[in-house]
Chains A and B, each alone.
Chain A
Amino acid sequence: MKRFIPSIVLLLGLGYLLSAFRPAAPDRGYDLEAFGRLPVLANGRIKPLDTIARSSLLQLQGRQRVSDPAVSEPFAATPGAWLADVFFAPEKADTYPTFRIDSPELLTLMGISEADTRITYDSGIKHAFAILGFLPSSRARFSFRQLEPKLGELERQTQLASPIPAQTRTPFQRAVIQLYGNIRHYLELKHTVVMPGSADFLGELLRFQEILPAGIAAVRARQAGQPYEEPALKAIMELAPRYDFMGGSTSILAIPPPSTAADATAWKTSGNAILDTIQTGSLNPAVLAYAGLAHSWRQGQPEQFNKVVELYAKELERRLPDAISKARAETQFNAAEPFYRSMTLFAFVFLLGIVSWLKWPEALGRSAYFLTALALVAMTAGIATRMWLEGRPPVTNLYSSALFVGWGAVALCLVLEAIYRNAIGSVAAGVIGFCTLLIAHHLSLGGDTLEMMRAVLDSNFWLATHVVVITIGYSATFLAGFLALIYIVRGVFTKSLDRGTADALNRMVYGIVCFGTLFSMIGTVLGGIWADQSWGRFWGWDPKENGALIIVLWNAIILHARWGGFVRQRGLMMLAVFGNIVTSWSWFGTNMLGVGLHSYGFMDAAFWWLSAFIVSQLAFIAVAALPTERWRSRLA
């Protein structure tokens, strides 16, 4: 029986990964998957509506589910269904709790009292759970309707806060600016394809088209100083500013260029495309398609909705085959959630690895090894898809660096595990894989993670060499630090660290530090060469360059201290743990300074996490410094 455990675990993991590709059941008959595949141009990139929906929800409220703790059913079944409500039935979407507010001061400002935040559960069991803390007892997400009365005050506070440099803003000011940005983003979504507040936008557009010829004639006649029809002129003069306003209220370009256009990136906002009707005389079919979707969504006619989506998608497929195939792949990628699912696998890898030290080392160790390999395959597929979508090397921003640091460390762990087969590599893979993906998840709350590269960094060759090499250097330095943590924890707190395991860990840490030195050194010098090629200077003492240099110097210290015999096993472990501090500072701390060429990811909340991490690592070093008699494992 024990023999089959690894294969069973592998099959279960595989089944879990593949279950993501199961097609979703239509929501009340609406084919929202097809709707989610429709492409728009936003933030410089053509992407499916599904991505807009998911990244918007993450940005507004930190999760993709739209629900309230006190209501059993979610308000929208999927992110796509939520977006359809925002687009086509905004009066409904306005009531969904999709704005996350944590700052108590901001809650007060927005007029939200404790009565609004308190959750009262109907069932007694839930109520008891809430008192025990298993269920949330207060709300953190609020609807647009709740915030609407105080938007004027929010705007005033934003004007007060925005002249202050980002680094010196108070938490309240930061919260104000964030909420204001989120409200604006929500309003942009609402104005993307349909004018909010219009009960029948399709009818309105058709009437507009009808009165247009008479209206244009009236305008021309007036310009020429001839008699003209007053009502016709008035009708068109009333509508035109409305569409102008709509076009100016969003930055999401939903209407593709006509097939005759020379510039394939000349997408337009719906409002501007409607205004174009004044020149062309007939409404843009894409505008009409979205208005038709709005009509059938509001009337509750799923067959008609699906038909319009299908026809519009077919038309786009003919004109923009590349954009459509990428949008389809991206939607598939979003649904597959490779990083979320690998994260779950890493949690199991970690547990299996730990348990294998206590029981069934062979069977469970092997299971953990297989599962690590599987998670790595899922991550690799995810990263490769991102690369293909973006047409870029793997690391282009902080988010993708988190993915890649995790990927590199897990790959190294697999190699270690293949050599040593003592589950240490698996446990390290579980921890680092889980943590880096968790960091990546939090970084994704800033919006779409497939960003366009700023001009300074726009060089695929150097992104593929310098950035990749240096990121692998980060991976290795972190891995050495985590292996050292395993040594310390097992040595001090358990009796499981025997001589053989200790020596194996010692060799692993040394080997990984060597590897890390090689990659961080080469990566740093390659960065210098990029700088010389692009800017005529090799080294500029930019914070990120300095961070990389400190990693190289620290690794050099570890190696020289070991070669000189100044440290032995325990000392090596302590130095390697400090490497975690050095690397995390270089990775995130330098971005928090807000200066230099590399400060592309300024974060606030992360500062506290970084500090907490550094303190925890110092604590581990202190624990390791306990005299060996106090260690539970006897290594002498």
Chain B
Amino acid sequence: MRDLWPPFRDFFSSLKLTIVLLALSIILVFWATLAQVRLGVWGVQEHFFRTFFVLSKIPGTDIPVPVFPGGYFIGGLLLLNLIAAHFARYQASWKKSGIALTHLGLVLLLVGELLTGLWQEEYSLRLDEGQTKNYSESFRISELALIDHTDPQHDDVFVVPEKLLARGRDITAPQLPFRVVPKAWYPNARLQMRGPNQGGDPSPATQGIGPRIIATPLPLTYKMDERNVPAAYIEVIAPEGSLGTWLVSEMLVEPQTFTHAGRTWSIGLRLQRNYKPYALTLLEFSHDRYAGTEIPKNFSSRVRLTTPDGRDDREVLIYMNNPLRYAGLTFYQAGFDNNDRTTVLQVVRNPSWLIPYIACVLMGLGLCIQFGISLFTFVAKRRTAQAG
């Protein structure tokens, strides 16, 4: 064991490893940048950075094999290398303080990026003028919502995340008087109305609007301006027998309802919601352009922020480069729609947001000290050389 340790330590603390890792990360970043044209920024993060290996399918099959180290792998090793090198070689001295600070900043930056990858949540909030919402929605993840509307005072909502729908197993819960059976799950699908004389396979759906619609599965898209629109066929089975099969999709906004045991339910697919203990109302959206052009000058949303306890009730202006920060969330102006009457806000929770700031200060300070010392030594040397 004792003989094994020194080569092990030398390997992980070596400068050669640092250089190899830096070179690998350049290749990774470059490759990922090119791949963005095809995969979009989300696809790239999943395929290249928030993963241990970049996987590629063997041509002609669906078997993925690792072809390159991913962001977690390189980042992790770099972190290990940095820390090991410090313990192996570092001697405390003023001359080395710059390097130490820079590297400490770098460690923080890498850790911060890891935590961001693990903790950061992003949602979108669409508001029409005058509309109030106390929830934001996921960008990409859907959920199946079964809502009991019987009580006029309130709704009982039961949601099933898409992950479970995709798995295809029966879903039972004590709150539900029936079983929910996902019969088919399409991560991306196109819906068309079935023509009056159109043949083709009969729809698996037996209830609601489903029988009149053809759902065609599509390949997943990663384009910036397109979104995957999932659809599913869901059968609801009560103890006494099947109640029918419904086609659900985010495209089908009209509620599809059914009654069972004297209670009225609706079934539908929607974007995963994240409820908040406060509400936002869009008072006004404005889209300013430069005079005589279509170049956008500013987008801004005037919103009212209210909490049920009445502690907060104020107007906020959210515009480009000026987000609203509230309760650990950042709301920023991301887009607009509907002839400038709908605003789209992006909502981000990032508990580790402070780390990059500290890292930046440490690294800036460290580099300034390091290069400052070099510069002074250089100038002093030249002075003596010129004098002598």
Contacts and interface: CB of A to CB of B under 8 A. Distances in A.
Contact of B19 (A535, A538, A550, A566): A566
Given A529-B360, A595-B224, 6 more contacts: A251-B293, A452-B293, A514-B370, A533-B323, A553-B25, A594-B37
A475 to B, nearest CB: 16
B378 A537 contact: no
B321 A557 contact: no
A456 B320 contact: yes
B356 A251 contact: no
A521 interface: yes
19 contacts: A43-B295, A44-B291, A452-B290, A454-B295, A455-B320, A456-B320, A456-B321, A514-B371, A518-B371, A529-B356, A534-B322, A535-B323, A535-B348, A541-B32, A550-B26, A553-B22, A564-B18, A582-B26, A593-B34
Interface in A42-70: 42-45
B292 A42 contact: yes
B22 A556 contact: yes
A36 B98 CA distance: 56
Given A514-B371, A525-B359, A543 B36 contact: yes
Contacts of A542: 41
B346 to A, nearest CB: 7
A361 interface: no
A560 interface: yes
Contacts of A561: 19
Contacts of A525: 109, 356, 359-360, 363-364
B274 interface: no
A566 B17 CA distance: 12
Given A455-B296, A546-B29, A536 B332 contact: yes
Interface stretch (B112-120, B206-214, B251-259): B112-120
A265 B289 CA distance: 11
A564 B356 CA distance: 28
Given A455-B297, A455-B320, A458-B321, A541 B44 contact: yes
A419 B295 CA distance: 47
Contact of B371 (A515, A563, A590): A515
Nearest to B15: A564
Interface string A501-520: 00000010001001101100
A44 B290 contact: yes
B337 to A, nearest CB: 16
Contacts of B290: 43-45, 452
B29 A553 contact: yes
A459 interface: yes
B26 A537 contact: no
B44 A267 contact: no
Contact of B321 (A514, A528, A534, A550): A534
Interface in B192-246: 224
Contacts of A532: 350, 353, 356
A554 B330 CA distance: 33
Contacts of B360: 522, 525-526, 528-529
B382 interface: yes
B80 interface: no
B26 A553 contact: yes
Contact of A593 (B23, B37, B359, B374): B37
Contacts of B330: 535-536
Contact of A251 (B23, B292, B348): B292
A521 B101 CA distance: 14
Contacts of A518: 367-368, 371
B97 interface: no
A41 interface: yes
Contacts of B364: 521-522, 525
B49 interface: yes
A557 B19 contact: yes
A557 B23 contact: yes
B25 A566 contact: no
A458 B289 CA distance: 13
A596 B19 contact: no
B335 to A, nearest CB: 11
B321 A459 contact: yes
Contacts of A538: 112-113, 116, 350, 353, 356
B292 A41 contact: yes
A518 B367 CA distance: 6
A456 B367 CA distance: 31
B320 A458 contact: yes
A525 B348 CA distance: 20
A511 B323 CA distance: 40
B266 interface: no
A596 B15 CA distance: 34
A541 B23 CA distance: 18
